[in-house]
Each structure stands twice: as C-alpha cells, then as structure tokens.
Structure 1
Amino acid sequence: MRKIIPLSFVAILLMSSCVSKKKYTTLQDEQKETADKLSAAKLELASCLSDRESAKKEIEHLKSTNYQLLNNVSSLATLSQKGAENLERSLESIKEKDMRINSLNEAISKKDSVTLALVTSLKGVLGNINDEDIEISVEKGVVYVSLSDKLLFKSGSYYVSSRAKEVLGKVAKVVKNKPDMDLMVEGHTDNVSIKNTVLEDNWDLSVKRATSIVRILQDDFGVDPARMTAAGRSYYVPVSSNDSAEGRSLNRRTRIIILPKLDQFYGMIEEGMKEAEAK
C-alpha cells in the first residue's frame, strides 16, 4: 500500500506537470503575440510621433510663410501708398513746371510781339531811306540798328553829320513810342590807331561817337536819357577783317541796340505765374 500511494502521487504530479507546461506554452505564445503587438504598436507610435513632428514643422513653416506673406502684403500696401504719394507729388511738380514754362513762353511771346512791332515800325520810317549804310536786324530777341561811319561821321571825327541827324530823328520817333524799351548806343572802330590832342586812342573815338549819338537823341529829339547807355568797343569786336579797306569800312560803325527792360520782362513772367497759380 505504501508503494501504491507514491506511484499514484507521482502520476498525479506528472499529469499536473503536463497541464502546467501546456498552459505555460500557451502563455508563452500569448506573451510573444502580445510582445509582437507591443512592438508593432511601438513602431506605429514612433511613426505617428515622427509624423506629428513633421506635421508640427510643416505647420510652423506654413505659419512662417503666412506671416511673411502678410508682411509682404502690408509692405506692398505701404509701398503702393508711398508710390501713389510720390506719383502725386511728381504730377504736382510737373504741373507747376508746366505752368512756369507756359508763363515763360507767354512772356517771351509778348516780348517777341513787341520786338516784331518795333522792327516793323523802324523799317516803316526808314524804308524810304535807300541806303546800304543802314541795317536793321534782330538777334536773340534784340533789335539792332547799325549805321556806318560814312553816314554818321567824317574820318577820325565824332561830330554827327546833318544827314545822319535825319536818320536819328526817325529812330527817335519810334523808340519814344516804346517807353518799355532801353537803348544802348555802341561805337566801333577799325584797328587803325588814332591819337591827337582830344583823342587818346580808338577807345576814346568809339566812346565819343557813342556819346555824340546819345546827346543828339536826348537834346534834339527828346529821348529820355535814363533809357540810354553810351558804350565804346574800340576795334575789338570786328564784323570783318581789318586787312582790307573794305573790311575796315565795315568795322567802323555805330549800333543802336533796342532791348526790353529786364525788370519789365521778368515782371511779365511773374504776372504770368500769378495768373497760372490763380487758375
């Protein structure tokens, strides 16, 4: 009986051991499966985390890009506003310059009209004098009446001839009707030296010829002396070569220069500017 009991116990133990091993194997399989699922879950979690980081970076990038775009839009709006302001200022500046140019053109047109009327008047009163020693010309808006010394003076003299006084009287009649014009009488000589008890040199001769003309215009024909200037140029502004008698004859001349008063000319410009601003 003692022998049977241990054998039975051993059998029970063996049976018990067999069941536990099977269960153990099953548990091992379950554990492996769980471990595999855990590993797969970990991998999926890592992938998700990686995707999340990538998504976060993409979001940050989009936020940054959006911020930059907003700044750019703001900058463009600011630039557009500044551009519009600059354009407006430029247009105002151009408009102002146009007004100045128009005013200047109007003043020049008025002056040109006066100059044209003056030339017409001079040619009208001197037209009946058929003499090659009288020349009327316009240079840069200034009227010149050029008289040769053959008409005005004897050789080396500054006394005006009676025939020249007739011409000067006709010129005086025109310029007296143009009180807004000034006169400069300009004497010229050739390069042949002159010196006597009265005249020091060609400078003296050219100046004395100019002052002789001015005195006649003032004393004989009533031209306002405040409008006149007497000037001598000696032989330093020739119109021809002094190497020939013909050239020297052309250089011996007196010019009556009739020009607008500068203050009145600028006054016309200022008046035009005021009218333009008022418009």
Structure 2
Amino acid sequence: MIKKIAIMVFGIALLNSCVSAKVYKDLQGKYADLQNQRDQLTDENQKLQAAQNDLENNFEMLEKEYDQAIAQRDQLQQQYDAAKNNLKNLQASYDALEKNSSTALSENAKKNKELLAQLEAKESALAAESARLEKLRNELNERSQRVDELESMIASKDEAMKRLKEAISNALLDFQGKGLTVEQRDGKVYVSMENKLLFPSGSWSVNAEGKRAVNQLASVLAQNPDISVLIEGHTDNVPYGGNGPLKDNWDLSTKRATAIVEILMNNPGIQPESLTAAGKGEFDPVASNDTPEGRAKNRRIDVILTPKLDEITKLLNNN
C-alpha cells in the first residue's frame, strides 16, 4: 500500500512538472517510514541473535543448578545412610539393655524415637530434593530442545539464503563483470547493480539491458516467497543537475529504487507486500567519491534479500 501511494504521488508530481511543499513533505515522511522499516528489520535480527545468546546462557545456568542439586541429593543420601546405621546400632543396644535395665530401656526407646523422627525428616527432605531435581531436569531438557530448535531454524535460514545466492548468481551470470555483484553476509543476500547497467546518466528510466537483468532476478525471487526484498537507490556526491520534478540526489535515488520495484512487480509470482523501495542518496557510499571509479561504484542499486523470521519469532515468544 505504501508503494502504491508513493507511485501515485510521483505520477502527480511529474504531471505538474513541480513538487509542492505538501507533496514533498509527504514524500519525506514516507521515505522516513521506509527507513524505519529497514531499521526495524535490522533491530529484529539483532534481537533474535541476543535472544539466542540468552537461551544459551540460561541453558548453562540450569546445568550448573542441576549439578548443585545432584551434589545436595548425594549429601542427603549420605546423611540418611549414617542415620540408618546409627538406628541399627541403637537397636542392637536396645536389645542388650532390655535384658538388664528398664531405665536404660526407656532412655534407649526415647533416643530410638528421636532417631526415627530424624530419619523420617531426612527421608522427606530427600524426597523433596528428588522432586526438585526432576523438575530441574525437565526444565533443562526443555531449554535444550528450544536452543536446538532455534539453532536448527537459523541454520536452515542460512542454508536457504546460500541456495538463493547461488540461484541468483546463476541467473545473472551474463551480467557478471558488468557492474553486478552478488554477496551473502550477515544472514542476507546483497545484489548490487551499478547504474551504468541500469540507467542513463541522470535518468531513472531503466534501459533494455537493465530490464533484462532485473527480470531475471525477479524470476528467482518469484520462486522464494518467504524473502523480504529491500531495494535501495544510491548516488555519488555530485549534485543532481537534471531538469524536471526532482530536487536532488536523494530524490533521484528514490525514483530509481521505485523504478526497479515497478519492474519486479510485473512478475505475478512476487508478492507486492514483500517489496520495499528506499532512496539513500549519496549518504551510504561503498567507495571514495574522489575518483571516477569510486563514484561509479557508489552510483548503484542494492537489492537486499532477508529471510522472513516469523517461525523464529514465534519460538522466542513461547519461551
């Protein structure tokens, strides 16, 4: 819905040959929203990594508590065995004294009752500790299972992104060495296309070769619906000098990102809600703007592919 509104606003702006202050302000707001969405995705990935670390730390703490419970149970067992031996010895003494003295018999019976009471208390404490130990063991197993599930999901997502990178690299093999690169890092796939492959200088109209590259990329994305796609437009630091409704490099980068989104949306297998367009102007360079080569690298479109993390989020919320 955000992208459709952005397209309508740009269309009206082109018809009127100028951008009113209100429309430009709206565009700025929508661009800020898109930046926030991108930042939220980054924050969500960091939170998921932090949550995994917390689960692993909790797992280690439960292991330590489990070991302590084992040691306490063993100590109670030793005390129980000692009390049982004392009772046995006193029983023998009781049998001997029973023949010789009623007074000694009475005293021995009293001690015997005390030892029996102690023994019952130790048995009760041992049973309670055994129950606590069993509860800790169950919690430890449950946490261990959740850690394993989380690690398995993350590994599965990484493997899926690896396969996606390979599929994209194969699909765009004809464009390797023409200003196009495909990389995988931080759990995401980055497809970077220099503007010389896509646009004439100062324009946001995609050329025929660029459309062919974007359409081939779209054919791969259509087969991977569980991927969020962020299209970022970038420029060098040379001020925009073209005519028309655009004000500066930021406007140009946004318009170019939107042009790529429009081509991707022509593929019926791509869900529009998975697409986000953003312009970053000259403010995220990958090379120095002091040389023509560096400026050429900075004039680019970055397509950032992120796995959807609904399953991982659901697992974390159940903790």
**What letter corresponds to residue 244 of structure 1 in structure 2?**
T
* Among 137, 151, 174, the residue aligned to 1:105: 151
Do 2:178 and 2:197's aligned partners in 1 also have CA atoms closer than 8 Å?
Answer: no
* Among 223, 231, 256, the residue aligned to 2:278: 231
Q: 1:80 to 1:233 in 2, by over 3 A?
A: farther
Do 1:206 and 1:232's aligned partners in 2 also have CA atoms closer than 8 Å?
Answer: yes
* Among 274, 286, 295, the residue aligned to 1:248: 295
Shift of 1:154: 2.2
Q: 1:165 to 1:264 in 2, by over 3 A?
A: farther
Aligned match of 2:142: 96
Unaligned runs of 5+ in 1: 1-58, 274-279
Distance 2:118 2:203 in 1: 87
Unaligned runs of 5+ in 2: 1-105
Q: SS of 2:174's equivalent?
A: coil
Do 1:111 and 1:265's aligned partners in 2 also have CA atoms closer than 8 Å?
Answer: no
Aligned match of 1:143: 189
Mapped pair 1:117 → 2:163: yes
Do 1:190 and 1:249's aligned partners in 2 also have CA atoms closer than 8 Å?
Answer: yes
Q: 1:72 to 1:174 in 2, by over 3 A?
A: same
Counting matched residue pairs gives 210
Aligned match of 1:188: 234
Q: Where does 1:1-279 land on structure 2 (aligned, <5 Å)?
A: 76-194=122-240, 196-219=243-266, 221-222=267-268, 223-263=270-310, 266=313, 269=315
Percent identity of paired positions between Structure 1 and Structure 2: 37
Distance 2:131 2:312 in 1: 36
Distance 1:240 1:71 in 2: 82
Q: SS of 1:128's equivalent?
A: helix
Distance 2:258 2:215 in 1: 16
Q: SS of 1:256's equivalent?
A: strand
Shift of 1:79: 4.0
Larger radius of gyration: 1
Q: SS of 1:208's equivalent?
A: helix
Shift of 1:258: 1.9
**What letter corresponds to residue 180 of structure 1 in structure 2?**
D
> Stretches of 4+ moved more than 6 A in 1?
69-72
Return 170-179 or 109-118, whichever deviates more: 109-118
Shift of 1:77: 4.0
Shift of 1:84: 2.2
Q: SS of 1:146's equivalent?
A: strand
Do 1:187 and 1:254's aligned partners in 2 also have CA atoms closer than 8 Å?
Answer: yes
The alignment's TM-score, normalised by the length of structure 2, stands at: 0.57
Q: 1:77 to 1:150 in 2, by over 3 A?
A: same
Q: 1:77 to 1:265 in 2, by over 3 A?
A: closer
Deviations 1:99-126 (A, max 9, x none): 1112212222332332222122112212
The alignment's TM-score, normalised by the length of structure 1, stands at: 0.65
Aligned match of 1:8: none
Measured on the aligned residues, the alpha-carbon RMSD in Å equals 3.0
Return 205-214 or 98-107, whichever deviates more: 98-107
